[in-house]
Homo-oligomer: A and B are copies of this chain.
Amino acid sequence: MTRLARQPSLIRDVAERAGVSPATVSRVLTGSAAVREPTRARILAAIDELRYRRNRVASNLRRQQVQMIGLVISDIENPHFTQMVRAAEDAAYMQGYRVLLCNTDEDPAKQRDYLGVLAAERVAGAIISPTEADAPEIGELIDLGTFVVAFDRAVADRRADAVLPANTEGARRGTEHLLGGGHESIGFVGGPAGIQTATERLLGYEEAMSAAGLQPRIAQGNFRVEGGRRAAEELIREGATALLVANNMMTVGVLQALRQGGRRVSADVALVSFDDPPWAELTDPPLTTLAQPVRAMAASAMELLMQRLEGRGKRRQCRVFDFELRHRNSCCYPKES
């Protein structure tokens, strides 16, 4: 395997050229100690001439720390996570941390695998939206010294901080909004069993329906497009005149099902959808959604991580964020404020 086009220069080469010891070069590189000006200038010049690039792998090993954050999410193609990753990457970049992207596809095995990778890489921190909240690998990662923040969904390990949405409350508000529109046959396009987000949103829906003395109608989706389509077809067949959809991916499927079935959004079937993807206002009609402040939540998660990394913040923190009901036109008669 011919790998190196040119032998990269080492700290030793720089030291030699500048007529100092490697230790001194390292000092100007890290800024860990003062170096006399003329010496410093010679070193900087040597670095430049030799095109020296410090080897981070060696540096990380010696310093026993890796400036890297693992982002464990189910799918980057879900706009919810796309936005989260974007905001997290921004914050990480500003703090000098790198981002390792880990897509789990809601597959517990893949999640375990990736958690193992993060442990092996000895990353400084991880933001995890768990598929399997009680995977033992999460605890092992924390044992190793990695700080963990649960995002979107809680993890079982009590040492992890958390940034969570107020799902139950959000689902209740969404349902009440549809109830306020005069609907009685409101269906719920739910997520997969076992996923916290899905369970909590279902609960809020059931509470609101029960409070209104109405019969809940639930079809289980899988947080993906086809699952949403199938669930919507089922609920429409059963006569639902309104739908609360538990995430934005399934909403795409719901819209496909409605279009295919020749039903108009709002006029025939009212819609309130969780998440607020960029396309929510491009559909016909624009969608009424339950929006999470995803960017703020991601920034918050990074902030918690940074606090830990700086040794501040002893107690476990759990921050909960409310949904915002964005009134657009997929529901008739918006009576709520």
Contacts and interface: CB of A to CB of B under 8 A. Distances in A.
Contacts of A86: 75-77, 103
B66 A77 contact: no
Interface in A233-285: 252, 255, 277-279, 282-284
A104 B196 CA distance: 34
Given A82-B82, A282-B282, A89 B61 contact: no
Given A8-B145, A282-B252, A89 B101 contact: yes
Nearest to A87: B77
A16 interface: no
Interface string A277-314: 11100111000000000000000000000000111000
A120 B59 CA distance: 10
Contact of A311 (B2, B61, B110): B2
Contact of A140 (B51, B58, B66, B310): B51
B116 A53 contact: yes
A123 B214 CA distance: 58
Contacts of A315: none
Contacts of A72: none
Given A4-B144, A8-B145, A54-B120, 14 more contacts: A3-B145, A6-B144, A55-B61, A56-B122, A57-B122, A76-B76, A76-B89, A98-B100, A99-B101, A100-B101, A101-B101, A277-B279, A279-B283, A283-B284
